Chains A and B, each alone.
Chain A
Amino acid sequence: MSDQFIDKEHRFAKIVSEQTFEDGRELSVLNFGPTHPSTHGVFQNILLMDGERILDADTTIGYIHRAFEKIAENRTFYQITPLTDRLNYCSSPINNMCWWMTVEKALGVEVPKRAQYMRVIVMELARITDHLICNGILGVDLGAYSPFLYVMKYRELAYEIYEEICGARMTTNMGRIGGFERDWSEAAWRKLDEFLEGFPKAWNELETAYLRNRIFMDRTIGVGAISAEKAMNYGFTGPNLRATGIDYDIRIAQPYSSYDDFDFNIPVGSGGDTYDRFCVRCGEVKESIKIIRQARENLPQGSYHADVPDYYLPPKEKVYTSMEELINHFKIVMGEIPVPVAEVYHSVEAANGELGMYLITDGSRTPFRLHFRRPCFVYYQAFPELIKGGMFSDAVATLSSINVIAGELDA
């Protein structure tokens, strides 16, 4: 217990000093994180170890607590999107869209069909990039670096699509109340087609490199498993829940943004272990491709934003040439928009599960209270449960397979 980052009076210290074995071996306490390279984020896990085996674990979080909810109470609606970007930074557009949908629900804005389809495309693209990182990194943690490098090419392509849409690669800050800031350019659509053309092949290769790989199977099957009841009790949502066999998906349960127009399946697992989580994500990526294809083919004509001059920023040409539009622009940016007193909860199926936003407005420029229901935060508390009794190296694989994003975890 010499580590300065473990509390001297930690409950494990007592266990270590009291427990004795006949063969003379001793228990030990291991500090795993917060800067361990394979935690992919800053979480501290204090592990009680018997040799290589984990007997008990204690997690500490909050190492990048950034006070999103406090900031949100001091920012106008348009200033909150950059915050949502930084929640789950692997799939920022989903967070952006969730925020706009929450605000639209509160303000009663109807979004045109075309904008809804565009949102679906960008959300599914974000889901792909998120799962790509998660599954790629899982391989890296198990010693297979090349497939990850191979699919990274397509993540770059997806980032280029975001760039065409909104100008940023990762922290996208995409969209407006009622739709998008501009119609997508030719280049965006062309790159999307390029992505749809090339990515499924690359993804298949990543999948085949792992899926029936003896080492990969031995390292993941039965590792970090959780039962369906427990997962539900712990508040699991998203791929991690579906890996246990429950087919709960908000895209189906409470469709938003025209998800009911599309034909897609919800992949489920059965064992709730690392391998199943991997397979569910693989399946979801393929379904996402399917959804994007459908949305691309059936993209309705119409406007890319709702006709709500009270909330939607006027076009730049007009802001620079006409006084009224300039004033209007200024008012919207400063948050002087008609906001009803409302209490709204809206949730979307983010890459990690149910991302919910609970917004209370009091009619002023800023939210009275904005609470983010972050999927990672809720299910990460089950992590000690997942790794107890397993080997240390399996804990690493389990951690990367549940895809905990530090930014979302700590808010």
Chain B
Amino acid sequence: MALETTDIQNRIIEKFADRVSDFRMEYDILTFEAAPEIAKEVIRYMKEDEVLRFNFLTDLCGVHYPDNDKEFQFAVVYLLHNWIDNVRVRIKSYIDADKVEIATVSDIFASANWMERETYDFYGIVFTGHPNMKRILNDNHMVVFPMRKEYPMEDSGRSDKDDRFFGRTTNNYQPK
């Protein structure tokens, strides 16, 4: 018997009531939002529940929404996959820009370890309880979180291109 999306939705709402919201189909994937305090519990529940059985964490990444209200400026997106019934679910958890923290899931899924470090490296989202919370791709000496929208893509130190022709000023590496 295949796992229907309505079953998933009902089961999760039954357990977490109003802390989960906004269930919708984004193209082919059921998406919902979970408060950051309970995101970890939701994932643990979805993995260990005998009906839901979401046994695989496919993806974890961060998103920055600079135009949102302050409480919802960052999001961590989890993509879980149930291999037995072949269903995917996306969980979005919005985080406050003043307190960019969420609990780690690396003790539930070992694969989350590096994905969380990457998210920290790009967005500065701190995963509390992570065994090794430091930068992974960029140099340790880097001070900014480059994927946040306020930081420019280009390197500030280049001299071979005339900045005037590329719509850049020389001091564009400073955050606004």
A and B in contact, CB less than 8 Å:
yes
Q: Residues on A close to B: CB < 8 A? A: 61-62, 65, 67, 69-71, 73-74, 105-106, 230, 232-235, 246, 248, 253-254, 342-345, 347, 354, 356, 358, 360, 369, 371, 373, 377-382, 410-411
Report which of B61, B86, B149 forms a contact with A358, defined as CB distance below 8 A.
B61
A/B interface sample: 27 pairs, CB < 8 A: A61-B137, A62-B137, A62-B138, A62-B139, A71-B153, A74-B153, A230-B110, A232-B55, A232-B56, A233-B109, A235-B56, A235-B110, A248-B83, A253-B83, A253-B86, A345-B59, A345-B79, A345-B90, A356-B58, A369-B63, A371-B77, A373-B79, A377-B114, A378-B115, A381-B114, A382-B110, A410-B137
Instruction: Encode B46-82 as 1/0 by CB contact (under 8 A) with A.
Output: 0000000001111101011000000000000101000
Contact assessment for A356 and B110 in the assembled complex, using a CB-CB cutoff below 8 Å: no
**Nearest CB in chain A to that of B149: its residue:** A73
Main secondary structure of the interface of A (DSSP, over half): mixed
Question: In whole Å, how far is A89's beta carbon from the nearest beta carbon of chain B?
Answer: 18
Segment among B1-9, B15-23, B26-34, B95-103 that sits at the interface with chain A: B26-34
Question: Of residues 120 to 137 in B, which have CB atoms within 8 Å of A's CB atoms?
Answer: 122, 135-137
Give bound CA distance, A233 to B112, whole Å.
9
Known: A235-B58, A358-B77, A373-B58. 4 other contacts (CB 8 A): A74-B153, A232-B55, A253-B86, A254-B86
- In this complex, which of A62, A345, A380 has the most chain B Cβ atoms within 10 angstroms of its Cβ? A345
Across the interface, do A343 and B137 meet the contact criterion of CB distance under 8 Å? no
User: In the complex, what distance in Å separates the CA atom of A244 from the CA atom of B29?
Assistant: 28
Cα A301 to Cα B60 in complex, Å, equals 41
Q: Are A61 and B153 touching (Cβ within 8 A)?
A: no
CB neighbours of B149 from chain A (8 A): 73
Cα distance A410–B136 in the bound complex, in angstroms: 9
B104 within 8 A of partner (CB): no
Decide if A345 touches B29 in the complex (CB within 8 Å): yes
Determine whether the beta carbon of A234 is less than 8 Å from that of B138: no
Residue B38 CB within 8 A of the other chain = no
Residues on A with C-beta less than 8 A from B135 are: 62
B26 and A343 contacting across the interface, CB-CB below 8 Å: yes
Question: Nearest-CB distance from B172 to chain A (Å)?
Answer: 13
B136, A61: Cβ atoms under 8 Å?
yes
Interface flag for B88 (CB, 8 Å): yes
Kindly state whether residue B147 has any CB partner on chain A within 8 Å.
yes
* A41–B148 alpha-carbon span in the complex (Å): 28
Complex: chain B residue closest to A382, CB-CB: B110
Q: In the docked arrangement, what's the CA distance between A254 and B64, Å?
A: 29
